[in-house]
Structures are given as structure tokens and as C-alpha cells.
Amino acid sequence: MSNKIIIAIDAMGGDDSPHKIIKGISIHSRTSDNVYYKIFGNKNLIDPLVKKFNISSELFQIIHTDKVVQGEDTALSAAKRGKQTSLWLSIESLKHDEAHAIVSAGNTGALFLISKLNLNMIENIDKPALSALWPSRKGMNVVLDLGANIECSSKNLVDFSIMGSALHKALFDKEKINVALLNIGSEELKGNAVIKETYQLLNDKKYSLFRFKGYIEGNNIMDGDVNVIVADGFTGNIALKTAEGTSNFIISELKSALSSSLIGKISSLINFKNLNSFRKKLDPRLYNGAILLGLDKPVIKSHGATDSIGFANSLKVCEKTIRGKLIDQIKQNIL
């Protein structure tokens, strides 16, 4: 077992759980080697599913509990539910070095709080940051913070730059890393005092892990010239939700236009390959898996409303962070 990657999984969090969780494990296990799943949840519900999806008994262990954090729980009430919920037990296994990372599609606030109660922060990092992958014209971007911290200091934003760059290197080792601060303009004088101070700190020091490229505006996020984009949690969360809404709108309108008339249907058949490629580029399931950076163990948040394909992709992100030695990358570069 010592050579295996061990992923702790909260099987009861999110919509349609544990069905989508177990099916997602099945999908991930077909394309991954040497991964072992510690599945926390109701054994009576999980057992029939692992049999249905033909998951080898050598690949998993079920740790039974019938206690669950509900989606409507506040973070505090979730913690007060006790230490026997599937979420708490899965995170606790990380604390005791019984797993290398944890993945949950459950309650976001509860995941953050229970993770912080059980795990230590990396030395010299004051606040964790929620990061995620976004597609761009030239590959993939890491964007953070996406809502863990409403207010940030310049030191926090510098830390986020280092952590986001370490994540990008862990996931895409061969690529050069370019960092930019999300701002209301590209000119050096634009932005609030914290952004300006962060600009100076990043501009004055040369980092071996990344190159600082200054400011980036919201309309340039997906250009691909920058692949790590840093913001406070308030700004980052609004940018994320705007991008998700725009993506859903475009896909919905395109489907409607191509199915509303005979010409549209013929056009969609003729251009099926290109349209399918376009749809995949905007499919949020393929980028599912947000990472809570700053803790001394990887904590991965899968979107609660995603399906089994999305959950399988969050497991793939989790696997890559472990193989890419994410935590070591952060520790080596943090100031």
C-alpha cells in the first residue's frame, strides 16, 4: 500500500450521492494506475454501487457511517454534527496520514471549516485560497482566490501567487508560469491600495517559480498569455460566477439556435465535429475540481451539482496534485 496514491472520498456529499461518486470512481479507476480509494459513507448504499460499476475490491475500502453533513448546514452546524460524519472522517484520515488527499462534492463551508480544524497551515501562509482551473486559448489557467477570503492583504496575494504557481507546475510541469493580478485596468496606477502594493512586491522581487506580468483585466483572462491569475476572494468569486453563467448562456443559446429550425439542424450535422469540440471546450465538468491551497495536505472540492464525469475529473486533478508534489512545491517557494 505504501507505493499507492490513497485518496479519501466523502461519498455522501453533493447531488445524487453516493451514485455519482461511485460511478466517478469507476470512471477514474479505468485511466489511473496505483490509486486506492478510501470511501467514507453509508455502506448499505455504497456496496450495491461498487458491484454495479464493477470496481475491483482491491482498489477500495469502505468506512461505514450513516451520519452526513447536509447541503443546507452552516459550516458551524456541520462541525457540531460530530466527528462521525462522512466529511469529518474523510478529512481526519488525511490528518492521521492514512490518505494523501481528500475529495468531497459536499457542503463547501463545512469542507473549509472542518479541514482547517483538522489540518495545519503551511508555515508562513496566513490564509488558504480556493483555486480552480479555467480554459484559455493556449491551455489552462489557475485562478485564485475564488471565495475563501473576502478581504486580503498584499502578503496574502503574494502568497496566492506562489501557491497558484506551485499548483500550475504540479499539474503542467513543462509550461512556463506567468502570473498576473486581476484588476480594473492594465496601467500601473489602476486599482486599490492593496493591489498596488502587491504589484510592487511582485515586481521588485524575481521569483524562480514564475514571471510576474503585471495586471490583467477580466476580458483578457482567457487569452492565454497569463496562466496564473490572482485576486481576492470577492473579486475572484464574481469573475468565476460570471464566466460560468456566460458559458452556460452560450451553450444554451447555441443549442436552441441549432435545433429550432431545419437549417439549424442540418448545419449542426454538417459541423458536428467542430461543434462538439466547442462544447467540450466550455464543458465545466472537464475542469471540475477546486483546490484549497495553504493547508499542509491537498483538499479538493468537487462541484456539488456535477455528475459522475465531473467527479471523475476532480479525482484526476487530485491525483495530479499528489504526483506533482504540490505541497512540497509550495513549501520550497513560500517566503
Distance CA 244, CA 285 (A): 11
Model confidence band, residue 229 (pLDDT cutoffs 50, 70, 90) = very high
What pLDDT does 250 receive? 73
Model confidence band, residue 59 (pLDDT cutoffs 50, 70, 90) = very high
Closest CA to 105 of 194, 16, 185: 16
The residue assigned the cell 469502505 is 62
The more confidently predicted of residues 330 and 279 is: 330
What pLDDT does 266 receive? 61
Mean pLDDT for all residues in the chain: 88
Distance CA 147, CA 262 (A): 44
pLDDT digits (tens, 9 = 90+) for 182-204: 998 877 777 889 999 999 999 99
Model confidence band, residue 57 (pLDDT cutoffs 50, 70, 90) = very high
Does residue 22 have a pLDDT over 80? yes
What pLDDT does 273 receive? 58
What pLDDT does 55 receive? 94
Distance CA 154, CA 136 (A): 26
pLDDT digits (tens, 9 = 90+) for 117-147: 999 999 999 999 999 888 888 888 999 999 8
Name all domains of the chain by residue range, CATH numbers in brackets.
1-125+294-335 (3.40.718.10), 129-286 (3.40.718.10)
User: pTM for the full model?
Assistant: 0.86
The percentage of the chain sitting over the pLDDT mark of 70, rounded to a whole number, equals: 91
Closest CA to 221 of 132, 130, 137: 137
Residue 132, phi then psi, degrees to nearest 5:
-150, 170
The percentage of the chain sitting over the pLDDT mark of 90, rounded to a whole number, equals: 61
Q: Would you call 263 exposed, middle or buried from its count of C-beta atoms within 10 A (0-12, 13-18, 19+)?
A: exposed
Distance CA 217, CA 191 (A): 11
Torsional class of 95: left (φ above 0), alpha (ψ -120 to 50), beta (otherwise): alpha
Other Cβ atoms within 10 Å of 286 Cβ, number: 15
Closest CA to 186 of 211, 215, 226: 215
Distance CA 308, CA 298 (A): 21
Residue 179 sits at the vertex; the CA angle it makes with 154 and 332, to the nearest 5 degrees, is 75
What pLDDT does 257 receive? 65
Model confidence band, residue 240 (pLDDT cutoffs 50, 70, 90) = confident
Kindly report each contact of residues 262-266 with a partner whose C-beta sits within 8 Å and lies 24 or more positions away, as own/partner. Answer: none
* Sign, Cα dihedral of 137, 140, 145, 146: positive
What pLDDT does 1 receive? 45
